[in-house]
A and B are shown apart, each in its own frame.
Chain A
Amino acid sequence: MSELNEYLNELKASARQVMDGEGTAAEEATLWPLTVELGWLLTAVPEELDGLGLGVHGVSMLHTELGRGLAQVPFLAATLAVDALVQSDIDTKAELISRFTTGDAVTAPLADVSTVTLTDTLNGKLSVVPSADTASDVLVCVDDCVVLVKLHQAGVELSARGTWDTTRRLFDVTFSNVVLANQVVLARGDAAVAMIARLQSLRDFALAADCVGAAAGLLDITIEHLNTREQFGRPLALFQALKHRCADMKTLIDAAEALLADSLSRITDEQLAEIDSQLLAKKAKLVACSMFADVSEEALQLHGGIGMASEHPCHLFLKRSMLNEHLGSGNGNYELDIADHFLAQLA
């Protein structure tokens, strides 16, 4: 375990270095090829499939670093789809994993707002799919079926959706009579249900990590601003009113980070589909995403006028935090799920 930790720390340091080099909100066009080249997509892939075998811990660490830099890459979506492949029993699995971790991009929706229905054909709309135009395939979860669908084929239509958050390029993907037999079905029945549950946990942990990293990065930027900007002949950081708010932000961030780390330490990769793991993931997501929204709101205020100018990165954090709150099944639903689970246990 400690050897693993050491390795994780090294990876973290090198990821930090890469991201610092690329700068805040680095463009997808340059960062994505780099992400692929560095083999980051292989982080959670087991060693027998030529991955690093670092599991959810390893990939979570990368999500944190990418979040910190507001990376404009569909890394989260791609890792979900690759994980689905890893869990599947299909013959072409090794080949597809290799393809999607080194060449073609695969994507997956980041929110539970799909209207897709499945019979012999797929119909309906999949929303909140990042970078669908540059990906070759998308992961679709419907009821008790998980399937990989080609994005560039008859019956599939992409439409770009403008979002306040400009660090993600989201698409609606509409299916009209896309024949299931021509797609790659990854799981069906109970296996699919378990796979979907697992993917939800992974997604929720990843969103939590994204928020933790981004909020920490934003707090650093804010403190740097307060330390250097002078008003009334002194650094703004000298005003206790502002220091205390930074202290509040730091405490919120560390609590969210601690919850994420604690949750991850309680489960193994194999348990991700279990109900307890799902609950841990939901709590981590809820706490981290509300925390990031709070931190972004404070940071904008503490920047003053410059924070209202689009040239300053402050707003990019705020906008990502606002979107993150609604990803997954949305913070409001997590609140309910957590309370309902608690109440059901008492009963």
Chain B
Amino acid sequence: MMSESDTQTLRQEVRTWLQDNVPSGWRDAMTGVDQESFVQLQREWFGKLSKAGYATPHWPEGWPGGGRSLAEQKVIYEEVARADAPRLIMYFVALYHAACTLMECGTEAQKEKYLPGILNGEIWCQGFSEPNAGSDLASLKTRAERRGDKYIINGQKTWSTMAQYADRCLLLARTDSSGPPQAGQTYLLLDMKSPGVTVVPINQITGDDEFAEIFFDNVEVPVEDLVGEEGQGWAVAQATLASERGLTLVELSQRMRYALPMLAETLKERGLLEDTALRRDLGKVIARVDACCALADQYLLKRISGEEKVGDASMVKLCYAQTLREYTKLGRRISGLQGQFDPDFMRGATQETGNWTLDFMNSYNWSIAGGSNEIQRNIISERVLGMPREPKTWKL
């Protein structure tokens, strides 16, 4: 465990570094711009962060920036949030899902082959969801057929964040459909430049296109790029799916807290500081944000002390998604009619851009993706509260 003074030293160090390095005015620079400017900002920011060792604090000892305890990682995340630094969303899957999967389940050869690339800024995407396999991920159908020393991939993935920029893809595909849905899934690392891969960006309701469909037409993946054993893909995916959750939610909750003055700013701009009803609602939101930060902190402490229980992460995610909804909705209300004009979006924005209508719509990312609110509620009621599960069989 870190001592209080160690934490303070690290905090100060990170804070000073961020003060000197966060690109000023990056939000404005990301409003209404094309993809290239976004990619450029992400690249530069990743370059700076990784050079300073702040992009990979969760990597093991021996890797640049790695070997930090959870407590130290928490300090770094809190400071990043405090500094309102851009989120590394283009590198998120690479730095977390891909890296953690490789560290935990990859062979030495795979680690050697891929981890340096990730450090050098390779972009990865996650190809799990399919048009007919969303909440029910286990039902996925994209086929991987073993032929000699290759797997041949056919099928379709969807909602794959950053797929249009990605160099590689974490692919969950089916090698066997004879058993129960979780069995027969295989985890593969796929080169997005392989022949037969087609990426079609999906237009989002905000105007952005952060995610995409990926089509596979007889795409070849060498067997060396199989992670874990054939048929064990589900377990591999589960092991790493929530690897970053605690930290991300600490960071995101803190970001809400640091963006509270933006709500006040909107109140002021609209001349509504004297509006008692709105001030009350602001008070309510501030307290809720504090509660959300506290729950996220508490969760991380449980992880640090090894007391985490099944379902704890679900409560943090549900709490965050709902708090963010209320928060952005209040912003939307305060913005009034004015908030319905000028539909600009900000690439790579966090959830608090000050364009509250946009932020409100983006709050759905958190209530739908990565296990929707409803799925989290199922987990909480069944796994935390021990209530009976939905029956497996049904008839109409």
Stretch at the interface among A15-23, A68-76, A183-191, A232-240: A232-240
Interface size on B, residues (CB 8 A): 40
| B361 CB within 8 Å of chain A | yes
Stretch at the interface among A206-214, A268-276, A300-308: A300-308
| Cα–Cα distance between A318 and B132 once the two chains are bound (Å) | 24
Interface residues of A in 287-332 (CB under 8 A from B): 300-301, 304-305, 307-311, 314-315, 318-319, 322-323, 326-327, 330, 332
| Cα–Cα distance between A182 and B374 once the two chains are bound (Å) | 61
Q: Chain A 124-166 against B: per-residue CB contact (8 Å), 1 yes, 0 no?
A: 0000100000000000000000000000000000000111110
| Cα–Cα distance between A319 and B357 once the two chains are bound (Å) | 9
| B310 CB within 8 Å of chain A | no
Known: A164-B357, A305-B159. A128 touches B332 (CB 8 A): no
Which residues from A are CB-within-8-Å of B374?
A: 239, 241-242
Cross-chain contact B139 with A231 (CB below 8 angstroms): yes
Which residues from A are CB-within-8-Å of B360?
A: 322
Partner of B368, one of A164, A233, A308: A308
Cross-chain contact B204 with A309 (CB below 8 angstroms): yes
Chain A residues touching B, range: 35 or more
Partner of B369, one of A163, A165, A305: A305
Which residues from B are CB-within-8-Å of A161?
A: 341-342
Which residues from B are CB-within-8-Å of A300?
A: 364
| A13 CB within 8 Å of chain B | no
| A267 CB within 8 Å of chain B | no
A107 to B: closest C-beta gap in Å:
18
Cross-chain contact A304 with B336 (CB below 8 angstroms): no
Cross-chain contact A330 with B340 (CB below 8 angstroms): no
| B203 CB within 8 Å of chain A | yes
B204 to A: closest C-beta gap in Å:
6
Residue of B nearest to A326 (CB): B337
Cross-chain contact B135 with A232 (CB below 8 angstroms): yes
| B367 CB within 8 Å of chain A | yes
Interface residues of B in 349-383 (CB under 8 A from A): 357, 360-361, 364-365, 367-369, 372-374, 377-378
| A338 CB within 8 Å of chain B | no
| B136 CB within 8 Å of chain A | yes
B189 to A: closest C-beta gap in Å:
24
Q: Which of B139, B340, B343, B368 has the most CB of A within 10 A?
A: B340
Interface residues of B in 135-184 (CB under 8 A from A): 135-136, 139, 158-159
| Cα–Cα distance between A323 and B338 once the two chains are bound (Å) | 10
Cross-chain contact A304 with B340 (CB below 8 angstroms): no
| A230 CB within 8 Å of chain B | yes
| A194 CB within 8 Å of chain B | no
Cross-chain contact B132 with A301 (CB below 8 angstroms): no
Cross-chain contact B205 with A315 (CB below 8 angstroms): yes
Interface residues of B in 260-292 (CB under 8 A from A): 277
Which residues from A are CB-within-8-Å of B134?
A: 231, 304-305
Which residues from B are CB-within-8-Å of A113?
A: 337
Which residues from A are CB-within-8-Å of B159?
A: 305
Interface residues of A in 329-345 (CB under 8 A from B): 330, 332
Residue of B nearest to A234 (CB): B394
Which residues from B are CB-within-8-Å of A309?
A: 202-205
Cross-chain contact B205 with A310 (CB below 8 angstroms): yes
Q: Chain A 214-234 against B: per-residue CB contact (8 Å), 1 yes, 0 no?
A: 000000000000000011111
| Cα–Cα distance between A172 and B136 once the two chains are bound (Å) | 48
Known: A304-B134, A305-B129, A308-B205. A165 touches B368 (CB 8 A): no
Cross-chain contact A305 with B158 (CB below 8 angstroms): yes
Partner of B361, one of A238, A242, A305, A318: A318
| A111 CB within 8 Å of chain B | yes
B71 to A: closest C-beta gap in Å:
35
Cross-chain contact B202 with A326 (CB below 8 angstroms): no
User: Which B residues form the contact surface with A (CB < 8 A)?
Assistant: 129, 132-136, 139, 158-159, 202-205, 207, 277, 332-333, 336-337, 339-343, 357, 360-361, 364-365, 367-369, 372-374, 377-378, 390, 394, 396
Interchain residue pairs with CB less than 8 A apart (7): A238-B396, A241-B378, A305-B158, A308-B364, A308-B365, A314-B205, A326-B336
Please give 19 more A-B residue pairs, beta carbons under 8 A apart, in addition to A162-B343, A305-B158, A305-B369: A111-B337, A163-B343, A164-B340, A232-B390, A241-B378, A242-B374, A301-B367, A304-B372, A305-B134, A307-B368, A308-B204, A310-B203, A318-B205, A318-B361, A322-B332, A322-B357, A322-B360, A330-B337, A332-B336
